[in-house]
Amino acid sequence: MNRIDALFARLKSEGRRALMPFLTAGDPDLATTAALIPELVRRGADLLEIGVPYSDPVADGPVIAASYHRALTQGIRVAHIFQTLRTLRAEGDAAVRETPLISMVSFSIVNKMGVDRYLNDAATAGLDGLIVPDLPVEESAKLQEKATLRDLKLIQLITPTTPRARAVEIARLTTGFIYYVSVAGITGERKALPEDLKANVAWLRTQTDLPICIGFGISSPDQVQELAEVADGLIVGSALVRRLADAANRPKGDVVKEVGDFIGELSGALAPKG
């Protein structure tokens, strides 16, 4: 069974929600990324989204866009990222080997490498799925079919402005889980989330049996706790990546611990009460 399916089946039986941090691969360097992944797993991350740096980010706000720039400046390439993940899967402890990993990648990168090569390399690197934010649902069926042959999930995004008929079609062509974008616009931390967010997710749940994970704007334990009422998982990106912005000038161990502490706070907010 794909690790994503296994995770959500287990969490459902335990009555728990998934915490999914986002990391830009290679920010500030791949050694830090390789240290962060097991630390975040240890501190409560249930699955991890790994951003593949791209020069023209899609829907990414200034924090994540800057992290992509920092990684590209280091000369980070897809092959380097896959090798880092491959090593982690081979040498990590049981928790690291069993934690689902998902790549957030532009279709321009997938297309340039070649769809079959990207998917083959992703599978052998130990990835469990991919999110391709700039691939329209109308053009996603072939990629989904090829990903499924390699036991990879194609996770697709639904936004507050997605027409409902289109949202149903996106859900039909999604595997693994649905990534529900909490706000229209770009990624970034928000002090408050839309009032209709819960109602929108509740409606979507009537249209699909897939787990629904909410991302964009989530940055605090209170927000995580509030959205756990309606979501199967919570995705945290900019709030984490911001903590890495000055990491190149600080001891790696301090940075890893600080980010781990943050994820530990969010995980604690999701812990069952009582």
- The pLDDT tens digits of the residues spanning 143-169 come to 999 999 999 999 999 998 999 999 999
pLDDT at 247 > cutoff 80: no
Which CATH homologous superfamily contains domain 3-263?
Aldolase class I (3.20.20.70)
Q: Express each pLDDT in 68-118 by its tens digit.
A: 989 999 899 999 999 999 999 999 999 999 999 999 999 999 999 999 999
Question: What pLDDT is stored for residue 189 in this prediction?
Answer: 43
The residues carrying an active-site annotation are 49, 60
Q: Express each pLDDT in 134-149 by its tens digit.
A: 999 999 999 999 999 9
Is pLDDT larger for residue 247 or for residue 115?
Answer: 115
pLDDT at 186 > cutoff 50: no
187 closest CA partner among 161, 162, 214, 225 = 214
Residue 52 to residue 64: CA distance in whole angstroms: 11
Q: Are 85 and 126 in contact (CB under 8 A)?
A: yes
